[in-house]
Amino acid sequence: MPQPLLSLQGITKSFGSAPALREINLEIAHGEFVALLGPSGCGKTTLLRSIAGFVTPDSGRIQIDGVDMVGSPPHLRPLNTVFQHYALFPHMTVAQNAAYGPLRAGLSKREAETKAIEALAMVDMARFSERYPRELSGGQQQRVALARAVVNRPKLLLLDEPLSALDMKLRKRMQLELKQLQSSLGITFLFVTHDQEEAMAMADRIVLMNEGRIEQVGTGPQLYMQPRTRFAAEFIGEANFFDFRRSGGAIELNGGLATVATHAPDLPDRGLAVLRPEFLRLADASELSLEGCRFSATPLETLRLGSHDILYVQAQGHTMSVRLPGNRLPAHLPDQVELVFDPANLHLLCQEP
């Protein structure tokens, strides 16, 4: 790997006796779009603020392009931030907000204005340049904050829950626009979110955090298909869990609910298996001969959502969810349904039950 843009080595930080970050190691390449994902309190914002320079880690190194950053104040770091509530300067117009960075970089008033208008045009806000922030809607403020942060072409753009204050429709649109902006600018984006769907939609790579640690790093599909821990499997998407026990060349789920042949050489004797709801389906008559990966269950509840249906069932005391293509479920389900799954889709967690 060539020199990474951002390199974090052994970052730790405590607030009082509460550890916020424990031994964070991470490298981010030039031009990547990376999401820091996790529940609130997992340390993702603290990590972002450490990179920006607003928080000083207790130990560890932060390097940008090989240059050590710890100890240098935010205004000397080659990065910019989009703040959670935008933090637009209320006493300045949109144009003045966008020109703030170039002016501080020592550009003349005229050059700064030109750059500001260019940046605003990029997010389609140039025509609002004489307005004041309070005269703009949330989405427009978001765009101005974005323009203000990229106007100096930083090496790294940090985004702190940038879309959390927007309504759902606007959020979806901004996700797409952010992604387009990132690829057209070629700037590395590191953004913090607690919304797994948002992380999946935008990021090339997701850094999943939990309790101050990095739980798993990978692309969205990797995290979804091969979660390493129960936390990862639960946090990203829906998951059905089964206890498994190995017996010879096969593993047995939930004490005999289903049996699957396996060729994996280094499996523990017991553990946890994950099966995503969409990998379960109703068996039709021709599949009744399939042995092992078929079981019967009692339907509990059906959610008909249009694009798909969610069926909650109970089998041997375990509740699980089944995701089915929309509008295929009969109006009345029988008391017992037969469910099947492809053993290839069963994912075994390496650690813990």
Partner 1 sequence: MSAQKFPALLLGAALAFLTAFFLIPMTVVLVASLQDKAGGLSIAQYARVLADSYHLAVVLTTFRISIFTTLLCVALAYPLAWYLVRIVRWRWWRRACVILLVIPLFTSNIVRSFGWIVLLGRNGLVNDAAVALGLADRPMRILGTETAILVGMVYVLLPLAVLGIGNALLKVDRALESASDDLGATPLRTFLHITFPLTLPGVVASAVMVFTLATSAYVTPALLSGGRVTVLSMLIFQQYSATFDFSFGGALSIVLLALTLILVGVASRFGKVRT
Contact present, 349 and 267 (Cβ < 8 Å): no
Shortest Å, Cβ 79 to partner 1 = 8
71 binds partner 1 (CB under 8 A): no
Burial 163-195 (b: 16+ CB within 10 A, else e): beebeeeebeebbebbbebbeeeebbbbbbbbe
Dmax over CA atoms of the chain, in Å, equals: 78
Is 162 among the residues that bind partner 1 (CB under 8 A)?
no
Q: Choose which of 12, 70, 132, 333 interacts with partner 1 (CB under 8 A).
A: 132
Size of the site for partner 1 (CB under 8 A): 25
Q: Which of 2, 73, 186, 249 binds partner 1 (CB under 8 A)?
A: 73
Question: Least distance from C-beta 321 to partner 1, angstroms?
Answer: 40
Q: How far is the CB of 120 from partner 1 (least distance, A)?
A: 15
Backbone angles phi, psi at 37, to 5 degrees: -115, 140
The span of 84-92, 233-241, 318-326, 340-348 binding partner 1 (CB under 8 A) equals 84-92
- Restricted to residues 180-239, the positions that interact with partner 1 (CB under 8 A) are none
Give yes or no for a contact between 116 and 110, defined as CB atoms under 8 angstroms apart: no
Could you tell me the sign of the dihedral formed by the alpha carbons of 267, 270, 276, 279, in that order? positive
Closer residue to partner 1 in complex, CB, 143/347: 143
- Using CA atoms, how far apart are residues 96 and 240, in angstroms rounded to an integer? 52
* Angle made by CA atoms 44, 13, 24, in degrees to the nearest 5: 60
User: Which of 10, 25, 68, 104 contacts partner 1 by CB under 8 A?
Assistant: 104
- Contact between 244 and partner 1 (CB under 8 A)? no
**348 beta partners:** 273
Residues that bind partner 1 (CB under 8 A): 52-54, 73-75, 80-81, 83-85, 87-91, 100-101, 104-105, 132, 134, 148-149, 152
